[in-house]
Chain A
Protein backbone atom coordinates (compact mmCIF):
# COMPACT_ATOMS: atom_id res chain seq x y z
CA UNK A 1 0.00 0.00 0.00
CA UNK A 2 1.03 3.61 0.09
CA UNK A 3 3.70 4.72 2.46
CA UNK A 4 3.09 6.60 5.71
CA UNK A 5 -0.45 7.28 4.74
CA UNK A 6 -2.15 9.04 7.66
CA UNK A 7 -1.30 12.57 6.53
CA UNK A 8 -2.28 11.74 2.97
CA UNK A 9 -5.69 10.71 4.21
CA UNK A 10 -5.76 13.87 6.32
CA UNK A 11 -5.10 16.00 3.25
CA UNK A 12 -7.91 14.23 1.39
CA UNK A 13 -10.39 14.70 4.23
CA UNK A 14 -9.44 18.33 4.80
CA UNK A 15 -9.71 19.21 1.11
CA UNK A 16 -13.01 17.40 0.78
CA UNK A 17 -14.23 19.51 3.69
CA UNK A 18 -12.80 22.68 2.17
CA UNK A 19 -14.27 22.08 -1.26
CA UNK A 20 -17.74 21.31 0.04
CA UNK A 21 -18.26 23.35 3.21
CA UNK A 22 -16.19 26.15 1.69
CA UNK A 23 -19.05 26.90 -0.68
CA UNK A 24 -21.75 26.68 1.95
CA UNK A 25 -20.31 28.61 4.88
CA UNK A 26 -21.91 31.98 5.52
CA UNK A 27 -19.68 34.80 4.37
CA UNK A 28 -20.00 38.35 5.65
CA UNK A 29 -20.88 41.05 3.18
CA UNK A 30 -20.30 44.27 5.10
CA UNK A 31 -21.36 47.50 3.40
CA UNK A 32 -18.55 49.19 1.54
CA UNK A 33 -16.66 45.96 0.96
CA UNK A 34 -17.31 44.79 -2.61
CA UNK A 35 -15.88 41.33 -2.05
CA UNK A 36 -19.21 39.51 -1.65
CA UNK A 37 -18.95 35.80 -2.50
CA UNK A 38 -15.44 36.16 -3.93
CA UNK A 39 -14.09 36.10 -0.37
CA UNK A 40 -14.45 32.33 -0.71
CA UNK A 41 -11.28 32.54 -2.76
CA UNK A 42 -9.65 32.71 0.64
CA UNK A 43 -10.02 28.92 0.71
CA UNK A 44 -8.34 28.42 -2.67
CA UNK A 45 -6.15 31.36 -3.65
CA UNK A 46 -4.47 32.08 -0.31
CA UNK A 47 -3.58 28.43 0.46
CA UNK A 48 -1.52 28.38 -2.75
CA UNK A 49 0.76 30.99 -1.21
CA UNK A 50 0.89 29.25 2.14
CA UNK A 51 1.79 25.96 0.46
CA UNK A 52 4.33 27.76 -1.73
CA UNK A 53 6.04 29.26 1.31
CA UNK A 54 6.18 25.86 3.00
CA UNK A 55 7.68 24.26 -0.12
CA UNK A 56 10.30 26.97 -0.58
CA UNK A 57 11.19 26.84 3.11
CA UNK A 58 11.68 23.07 3.03
CA UNK A 59 13.65 23.51 -0.18
CA UNK A 60 16.08 25.99 1.33
CA UNK A 61 16.54 23.82 4.43
CA UNK A 62 17.56 20.89 2.22
CA UNK A 63 19.80 23.17 0.14
CA UNK A 64 21.69 24.15 3.30
CA UNK A 65 21.79 20.50 4.35
CA UNK A 66 23.27 19.62 0.97
CA UNK A 67 25.95 22.27 1.26
CA UNK A 68 26.89 20.94 4.69
CA UNK A 69 27.32 17.29 3.81
CA UNK A 70 27.01 16.82 0.00
CA UNK A 71 24.36 14.10 0.16
CA UNK A 72 22.86 13.66 -3.31
CA UNK A 73 19.44 12.86 -1.82
CA UNK A 74 19.29 16.24 -0.06
CA UNK A 75 19.82 17.93 -3.39
CA UNK A 76 16.94 15.98 -4.93
CA UNK A 77 14.65 16.99 -2.04
CA UNK A 78 15.65 20.61 -2.42
CA UNK A 79 15.09 20.73 -6.18
CA UNK A 80 11.73 19.00 -6.14
CA UNK A 81 10.36 21.17 -3.34
CA UNK A 82 11.45 24.26 -5.24
CA UNK A 83 9.70 22.88 -8.32
CA UNK A 84 6.39 22.35 -6.53
CA UNK A 85 6.75 25.75 -4.88
CA UNK A 86 7.15 27.40 -8.26
CA UNK A 87 4.10 25.63 -9.66
CA UNK A 88 2.06 26.73 -6.64
CA UNK A 89 3.34 30.27 -7.07
CA UNK A 90 2.18 30.31 -10.69
CA UNK A 91 -1.21 28.95 -9.65
CA UNK A 92 -1.44 31.60 -6.94
CA UNK A 93 -0.56 34.35 -9.38
CA UNK A 94 -3.04 33.17 -12.02
CA UNK A 95 -5.89 32.69 -9.54
CA UNK A 96 -5.05 36.09 -8.10
CA UNK A 97 -5.27 37.65 -11.56
CA UNK A 98 -8.67 36.10 -12.16
CA UNK A 99 -9.86 37.44 -8.82
CA UNK A 100 -8.29 40.84 -9.45
CA UNK A 101 -9.96 41.13 -12.83
CA UNK A 102 -13.35 41.20 -11.16
CA UNK A 103 -12.32 42.93 -7.94
CA UNK A 104 -9.85 45.61 -8.98
CA UNK A 105 -11.01 45.97 -12.58
CA UNK A 106 -8.04 44.49 -14.36
CA UNK A 107 -5.87 41.39 -13.96
CA UNK A 108 -2.65 43.30 -13.39
CA UNK A 109 -2.70 46.61 -11.55
CA UNK A 110 0.99 46.78 -10.76
CA UNK A 111 0.07 46.25 -7.13
CA UNK A 112 3.08 46.01 -4.83
CA UNK A 113 2.27 42.45 -4.00
CA UNK A 114 1.64 41.37 -7.57
CA UNK A 115 4.93 42.86 -8.74
CA UNK A 116 6.75 41.42 -5.74
CA UNK A 117 5.56 37.88 -6.32
CA UNK A 118 6.25 38.16 -10.05
CA UNK A 119 9.84 39.13 -9.24
CA UNK A 120 10.16 36.33 -6.70
CA UNK A 121 8.88 33.78 -9.20
CA UNK A 122 11.25 35.03 -11.90
CA UNK A 123 14.10 34.55 -9.45
CA UNK A 124 12.97 30.95 -8.95
CA UNK A 125 12.67 30.42 -12.72
CA UNK A 126 16.29 31.52 -12.95
CA UNK A 127 17.13 28.76 -10.45
CA UNK A 128 15.96 26.13 -12.91
CA UNK A 129 17.63 27.87 -15.85
CA UNK A 130 20.87 27.99 -13.90
CA UNK A 131 20.69 24.31 -12.98
CA UNK A 132 19.74 23.32 -16.51
CA UNK A 133 22.70 25.17 -17.96
CA UNK A 134 25.27 23.24 -15.94
CA UNK A 135 26.36 19.83 -17.21
CA UNK A 136 28.35 18.56 -14.29
CA UNK A 137 26.01 17.10 -11.67
CA UNK A 138 28.04 18.07 -8.67
CA UNK A 139 28.44 21.64 -9.88
CA UNK A 140 24.74 21.76 -10.63
CA UNK A 141 23.91 20.68 -7.12
CA UNK A 142 26.39 22.99 -5.42
CA UNK A 143 25.68 26.16 -7.39
CA UNK A 144 21.97 25.37 -7.40
CA UNK A 145 21.92 25.09 -3.62
CA UNK A 146 23.78 28.35 -3.13
CA UNK A 147 21.44 30.10 -5.55
CA UNK A 148 18.44 28.54 -3.78
CA UNK A 149 19.48 30.25 -0.54
CA UNK A 150 19.82 33.56 -2.38
CA UNK A 151 16.40 33.10 -4.00
CA UNK A 152 14.78 32.35 -0.66
CA UNK A 153 16.17 35.49 0.89
CA UNK A 154 14.93 37.51 -2.08
CA UNK A 155 11.51 35.91 -1.74
CA UNK A 156 11.10 37.22 1.78
CA UNK A 157 11.41 40.95 1.11
CA UNK A 158 9.46 40.75 -2.13
CA UNK A 159 6.40 39.04 -0.71
CA UNK A 160 6.46 39.77 3.02
CA UNK A 161 8.19 43.10 3.57
CA UNK A 162 7.80 45.33 0.49
CA UNK A 163 4.02 44.91 0.19
CA UNK A 164 3.71 46.11 3.79
CA UNK A 165 5.70 49.26 3.04
CA UNK A 166 4.00 50.27 -0.17
CA UNK A 167 0.42 51.25 -0.90
CA UNK A 168 -1.31 48.06 -1.90
CA UNK A 169 -4.66 46.94 -3.18
CA UNK A 170 -4.28 43.84 -1.07
CA UNK A 171 -5.42 44.15 2.52
CA UNK A 172 -2.69 45.26 4.88
CA UNK A 173 -0.86 47.73 2.67
CA UNK A 174 0.64 51.00 3.84
CA UNK A 175 -1.46 52.66 6.49
CA UNK A 176 -3.70 49.71 7.23
CA UNK A 177 -3.05 47.16 9.90
CA UNK A 178 -2.66 43.44 9.73
CA UNK A 179 -0.96 41.21 7.26
CA UNK A 180 -0.97 41.57 3.49
CA UNK A 181 -2.90 38.39 2.81
CA UNK A 182 -5.85 38.63 5.16
CA UNK A 183 -8.06 41.37 6.41
CA UNK A 184 -9.57 40.59 9.80
CA UNK A 185 -12.59 42.70 8.88
CA UNK A 186 -13.46 40.42 5.95
CA UNK A 187 -13.17 37.14 7.83
CA UNK A 188 -15.40 35.67 10.49
CA UNK A 189 -14.82 32.83 12.89
CA UNK A 190 -16.96 30.61 10.69
CA UNK A 191 -14.70 31.32 7.75
CA UNK A 192 -11.61 30.60 9.80
CA UNK A 193 -13.08 27.16 10.45
CA UNK A 194 -12.64 26.49 6.74
CA UNK A 195 -9.59 28.65 6.10
CA UNK A 196 -7.13 26.90 8.40
CA UNK A 197 -8.11 23.37 7.33
CA UNK A 198 -7.78 24.63 3.74
CA UNK A 199 -4.24 25.87 4.44
CA UNK A 200 -3.25 22.53 5.95
CA UNK A 201 -5.03 20.44 3.32
CA UNK A 202 -3.54 22.18 0.29
CA UNK A 203 -0.10 22.19 1.90
CA UNK A 204 -0.28 18.45 2.62
CA UNK A 205 -1.40 17.73 -0.95
CA UNK A 206 1.52 19.70 -2.38
CA UNK A 207 3.93 17.89 -0.08
CA UNK A 208 2.44 14.57 -1.17
CA UNK A 209 2.91 15.38 -4.86
CA UNK A 210 6.45 16.52 -4.15
CA UNK A 211 7.33 13.30 -2.34
CA UNK A 212 6.15 11.35 -5.41
CA UNK A 213 8.57 13.28 -7.61
CA UNK A 214 11.33 12.86 -5.05
CA UNK A 215 10.82 9.11 -4.91
CA UNK A 216 11.00 8.81 -8.70
CA UNK A 217 14.18 10.90 -8.74
CA UNK A 218 15.70 8.75 -5.98
CA UNK A 219 14.95 5.57 -7.96
CA UNK A 220 16.50 7.16 -11.05
CA UNK A 221 19.56 8.22 -9.10
CA UNK A 222 20.00 4.74 -7.68
CA UNK A 223 19.68 3.14 -11.12
CA UNK A 224 22.26 5.49 -12.59
CA UNK A 225 24.65 4.67 -9.77
CA UNK A 226 24.12 0.93 -10.08
CA UNK A 227 24.59 0.93 -13.84
Chain B
Protein backbone atom coordinates (compact mmCIF):
# COMPACT_ATOMS: atom_id res chain seq x y z
CA UNK B 1 0.00 0.00 0.00
CA UNK B 2 2.74 2.39 1.09
CA UNK B 3 4.99 1.39 -1.80
CA UNK B 4 2.17 1.90 -4.23
CA UNK B 5 1.69 5.41 -2.88
CA UNK B 6 5.39 6.23 -3.25
CA UNK B 7 5.35 4.84 -6.79
CA UNK B 8 2.38 6.97 -7.76
CA UNK B 9 3.95 10.03 -6.14
CA UNK B 10 7.27 9.60 -7.89
CA UNK B 11 5.47 9.02 -11.19
CA UNK B 12 3.58 12.27 -10.67
CA UNK B 13 6.78 14.06 -9.76
CA UNK B 14 8.45 12.80 -12.91
CA UNK B 15 5.49 13.87 -15.00
CA UNK B 16 5.47 17.34 -13.48
CA UNK B 17 9.22 17.88 -13.84
CA UNK B 18 9.31 16.57 -17.39
CA UNK B 19 6.43 18.79 -18.40
CA UNK B 20 8.15 21.71 -16.67
CA UNK B 21 11.29 21.05 -18.71
CA UNK B 22 9.21 20.87 -21.86
CA UNK B 23 7.48 24.09 -20.95
CA UNK B 24 10.84 25.77 -20.40
CA UNK B 25 12.06 24.63 -23.80
CA UNK B 26 8.88 25.87 -25.42
CA UNK B 27 9.28 29.20 -23.68
CA UNK B 28 12.91 29.52 -24.76
CA UNK B 29 11.84 28.90 -28.32
CA UNK B 30 8.89 31.20 -28.79
CA UNK B 31 10.08 34.20 -26.74
CA UNK B 32 9.29 34.38 -23.07
CA UNK B 33 6.07 33.95 -21.25
CA UNK B 34 8.02 33.69 -18.00
CA UNK B 35 9.83 36.96 -18.66
CA UNK B 36 6.84 38.96 -19.91
CA UNK B 37 4.72 41.29 -17.83
CA UNK B 38 7.43 42.20 -15.34
CA UNK B 39 8.13 38.49 -14.75
CA UNK B 40 4.95 38.06 -12.71
CA UNK B 41 4.62 34.50 -14.02
CA UNK B 42 7.72 33.58 -12.04
CA UNK B 43 5.81 34.46 -8.88
CA UNK B 44 2.82 32.50 -10.16
CA UNK B 45 5.08 29.46 -10.68
CA UNK B 46 6.48 29.77 -7.15
CA UNK B 47 3.08 30.16 -5.53
CA UNK B 48 1.56 27.30 -7.52
CA UNK B 49 4.49 25.04 -6.54
CA UNK B 50 3.98 25.86 -2.87
CA UNK B 51 0.27 25.21 -3.26
CA UNK B 52 0.90 21.84 -4.93
CA UNK B 53 3.28 20.85 -2.14
CA UNK B 54 0.86 21.96 0.54
CA UNK B 55 -2.02 20.04 -0.98
CA UNK B 56 0.11 16.92 -1.52
CA UNK B 57 1.02 17.08 2.17
CA UNK B 58 -2.54 17.56 3.38
CA UNK B 59 -3.75 14.84 1.02
CA UNK B 60 -1.19 12.40 2.40
CA UNK B 61 -2.15 13.22 5.98
CA UNK B 62 -5.77 12.60 5.08
CA UNK B 63 -4.93 9.16 3.69
CA UNK B 64 -2.83 8.21 6.69
CA UNK B 65 -5.58 9.22 9.08
CA UNK B 66 -8.07 7.19 7.02
CA UNK B 67 -5.81 4.19 7.48
CA UNK B 68 -5.64 4.78 11.23
CA UNK B 69 -9.41 5.01 11.35
CA UNK B 70 -9.73 1.68 9.60
CA UNK B 71 -7.33 0.01 12.04
CA UNK B 72 -8.82 1.31 15.25
Q: A-side interface residues toward B, CB under 8 Å? A: 1-3, 8, 12, 15-16, 19-20, 23-24, 205, 208-209, 212, 215-216, 219, 222-223
Which residues of chain B are within 8 angstroms of A16 by Cβ–Cβ distance? 48, 51
A19 to B62, CA, bound (A): 23
Name the distance in Å between A29's Cβ and chain B's nearest Cβ. 14
Contact present for A219 and B61 (CB under 8 Å): no
Q: B-side interface residues toward A, CB under 8 Å? A: 37, 40-41, 43-44, 47-48, 51, 55, 58-59, 61-63, 65-66, 68-69, 72
Which residues of chain B are within 8 angstroms of A8 by Cβ–Cβ distance? 59, 62
Name the distance in Å between A180's Cβ and chain B's nearest Cβ. 27
Contact present for A216 and B48 (CB under 8 Å): no
Contact present for A23 and B65 (CB under 8 Å): no
Q: For chains A and B in complex, what number of residue pairs have CB atoms within 8 angstroms?
A: 48
Contact present for A212 and B65 (CB under 8 Å): yes
Name the distance in Å between B38's Cβ and chain A's nearest Cβ. 10
Which residues of chain A are within 8 angstroms of B51 by Cβ–Cβ distance? 15-16, 19
**A2-B66, A215-B65 known; A19+B48 contact, CB < 8 A:** yes
22 A-B pairs whose Cβ atoms sit less than 8 Å apart in the complex: A2-B62, A2-B63, A2-B66, A3-B66, A12-B55, A19-B44, A19-B47, A19-B51, A23-B41, A23-B44, A23-B47, A24-B40, A208-B58, A208-B62, A209-B58, A212-B65, A215-B65, A215-B69, A219-B65, A219-B69, A219-B72, A223-B72
Contact present for A23 and B43 (CB under 8 Å): yes
A8 to B54, CA, bound (A): 13
Greatest chain B CB density within 10 A among A2, A205, A212, A216 is at A2
A223 to B69, CA, bound (A): 11
Partner of B65, one of A12, A15, A216: A216
Chain A residue nearest to B55 in the complex (CB): A12
Which residues of chain B are within 8 angstroms of A24 by Cβ–Cβ distance? 37, 40, 44
Chain A residue nearest to B65 in the complex (CB): A215
